[in-house]
Chain A
Amino acid sequence: MAQIKKILAGALALCMAGSVLTACGGDKEGDTGSTGGSESKTEDAKGGSEGGNEEKKEDTKEETKPADTASLVNTGKVYNVYCWNTEFKERFEKYYEGAKDTALWDGVTINWVINPNEGNNYQTKLDEAIKKQSSAADDEKVDLFLVEADYAMKYVNSDACLDVIGEIGITKDDLKDQYKYTQDVMTDSNGTLKGLSWQATPGLFLYNAEYAKEVLGTDDPDEVQAQISDWTKFGEVAQKMKDKGIFMVSGYDDTYRCFSNNVSGPWVTDGKITIDPQIKAWADQTKEYSDKGYNNGTSLWDPAWTAGQKIDGKVFGYFFSTWGIPFTLLPNTLDKSADEGGEMAEGNGGYGKWRACKGPQSYFWGGTWIVGCFGSDNVAITRDVMLKLTCDADIMAQITENEQDYTNNKAAIKKLIDGGYTNPFLGGQNHLVLLSDAAEQIDLTGKVSAYDQGCNEEFQGAMKDYFQGTVTYDEALAKFKTNITTKYGDLTMD
């Protein structure tokens, strides 16, 4: 881990000088030199299908002018932040405290209200607080709260969130370096953006290079990618792996995000639950894989799932997001952990023996968004927090450098790539290129609903019995229906 940090630090040091310049320039107009240029190129490249549509949206959005920053309220004495773990608090203290607009914070103290989400505790309490927002004493009003993608729409659909542009006063230009999907998640049906994230969490397929060589005859990421670039090919490789006694993936849920991020419509429309063809395709495929022995029948985070990440763990690959590599795959694949003084170098378990490729479909996994709450008496502070923590290329580059968060800033990431970044854990591969491609390709327009969390969880859970062969698909589906309509009493399903 220490080595990754060193390399990242080195890469960053190289581009620091440039980054300062572009950051200053960017603040003014956004027509600056090199980064701006390459920026628009990537935009054009991905434009395609929804390009025109987007243009229009932007036009209509132009009507909601950025709020006048001078007139933002900042009368509160306590800034209340609602979240479910200490992640944001740590980022805030480490990266925002030093950069904050001290004038805004004069006489204001911050109050962290942290409620773990186990048993839906976080949302229950947040909802209660939002409900009381207008009657609450000034110092008890929610100023900022955090949400995750799977239930973000619940808040985005409501009128509790402040409009990032129209009410908080962030400009389109401030947001230009963010990945589109991170904004899709927080955009309501009228096209209003309601929250921002400092991180992006695109995913890749991480594979065991030794098995790749053994079975496919190559461990080169491009060649491996060519062999698994769609699900048909992926299945063919799975058969080859099976013949050698290797599981293609570890468990049932591993491929789920690839499918669920590429659905044609959301789980719920007008109070009705529909099973998208992509979701059904996941169930069919996983059933097939289970019957044919392409997977090891594990569930995410199980000991058996973890054990497969050893270099001789008999599992070819895992779908991992940015954070999964340093924090899950790395520690799980080592023979001797860093705590025990294990060296971060080849020879220690699977270190250096994993590679990354894009996999059959782009997807993301995880991520946290920050939202300003209506009725807040410190909107000016919210603007400052959002600007510094989600738009500022320098700060975000630092976060990537120190925390191994893949930050939501194309410019920061590009600088790292241009700086000749390589990852020794992946045998010197530069997987940031893959991640940034993947992040660009994720499109969630019209694919998210407020009920995704429950639907995903309950569907995956209900299908387990089907994969294990104890019930038919229809029986599993019937169980899903009963569960989901209990969990969400306001929904119906055919």
Chain B
Amino acid sequence: MARIEGIAGENEDQVKLKIRQGVAYAVLILLMFISLLPFYLLLINATRGKVQPGIKFIPEGQFFKNIGKIFNDAYKANYGSFIKSFFNSIFVSSVSTVLCVYFSALTAYAVHVYDFKLKKSVHTFILLVMMVPTQASAIGLYRMLVSMKLTNSFIPLTIPAIAAPATYFFMIQYMASALPLEIVEAARMDGCGEYKTFNIIVLPILKPALAVQAIFVFVSNWNNLFLPQMLLDDQSKKTIPVVLQLIKANIDSNPMTADAGLMNMFMVLAILPVVIIYLLLSKNIVGGVSLGAVKG
């Protein structure tokens, strides 16, 4: 009897599992379609001509012509070299990402691991400033950077990433659930210096969190228009979103040069590196599984 029941239960479980799998796949496939739709439309638009009335779902034949337009002389004269702006973006985004993730982890580590008088105030302060609307200080910041002669410089686009309250917040939340203090103390027993402990022992443990934040920070920097647009006048310094804005400005107000095919192709090319970075980093997030196992 008991054995038969067991088998029946297992079968029932199997059926339930199959149903759950079915539902999961159905939802995933639906979401996949919705998520890929904008890319599909963007790709279609990248195969279309200069003027694009309405939305189309079938590609046209301008794909290679549009790629060509991004690398020809007319493009260079108007928007500077694509390669140059591409590498400006890569530089700004990578440097900000590394600075942001590293120093946020360090700051969170300081608050998480050490006991010091101002600990609570510092934590509260950082959480508080996280709530400050970014728009609130925008104009003041611009004036300040102008008077510091920091326009046309990558410094104000990268260095401030060191102080990123939201990334700090994520790191400290992650540490709360995944960084046991025992590890730090074990390192001390082994005579490992504090800074070295952080770099050699703690950072690897934080890898999933670092990877997650690195993706987000990279993407938001890659797409960041606000400050770069205010600060970068020099064509050789412009980043991808700033150039995109320029292409758009021509579409809005300069019909002779307006080219929606070019703009959409530009966006397609601008998305590629972010997708690659994502694919590279997302492997590290999966690495979290083994971490859980080790911890257990």
Contacts and interface: CB of A to CB of B under 8 A. Distances in A.
A340 B53 contact: no
B258 A118 contact: no
B249 A84 contact: yes
B250 A114 contact: no
Interface in A282-310: 303, 306-307, 309
Contacts of A337: 49, 51
Contact of A327 (B78, B245, B256): B256
A128 B54 contact: no
Contact of B254 (A86, A93, A125, A328): A86
Interface string A314-348: 00000000010011100110000111100000000
Contacts of A89: 78
Contact of B54 (A116, A124, A307): A307
A339 B49 contact: yes
Contacts of B261: 339
Interface string B59-75: 01110010000000000
A87 B77 contact: no
Contacts of A116: 229, 245-246, 248-249
A112 interface: yes
B67 to A, nearest CB: 14
A85 B246 contact: yes
Contacts of B12: none
A38 interface: no
B230 interface: yes
A404 interface: yes
Contacts, number: 92
A303 B254 contact: no
B35 interface: no
B235 interface: yes
B37 to A, nearest CB: 17
B242 to A, nearest CB: 9
B44 to A, nearest CB: 14
Interface residues of B, number: 35
B137 interface: no
Nearest to A132: B146
A43 to B, nearest CB: 31
A282 B257 CA distance: 33
B233 A115 contact: yes
B237 interface: no
B49 A86 contact: no
Interface in B74-91: 77-79
Contacts of B143: 128
B255 interface: yes
Contacts of A85: 246, 249-250, 252-254, 257
A209 B287 CA distance: 68
A340 B261 CA distance: 12
Contacts of A307: 53-54
A466 B249 CA distance: 30
Contacts of B230: 121, 124-125
A158 to B, nearest CB: 19
B21 to A, nearest CB: 40
Contacts of A303: 53-55
A30 to B, nearest CB: 32
Contacts of B255: 323, 326-328
A250 to B, nearest CB: 13
B250 A87 contact: yes
A117 interface: yes
Contacts of B139: 124
Given A86-B254, A125-B233, 7 more contacts: A113-B233, A116-B229, A124-B142, A124-B230, A128-B146, A306-B54, A340-B61
Interface of A: 84-87, 89-90, 93, 112-118, 121, 124-125, 128, 132, 303, 306-307, 309, 323, 326-328, 331-332, 337-340, 366, 403-405
Interface of B: 48-51, 53-55, 60-62, 65, 77-79, 139, 142-143, 146, 229-230, 233, 235, 245-246, 248-250, 252-258, 261
13 contacts: A84-B253, A86-B254, A89-B78, A90-B256, A118-B248, A124-B142, A125-B230, A303-B53, A303-B55, A307-B53, A332-B51, A337-B51, A339-B50
Ranked nearest first, the 8 interchain pairs of A and B with the lowest CB-CB distance are A339-B49, A327-B255, A116-B249, A331-B51, A87-B254, A85-B249, A85-B254, A86-B78
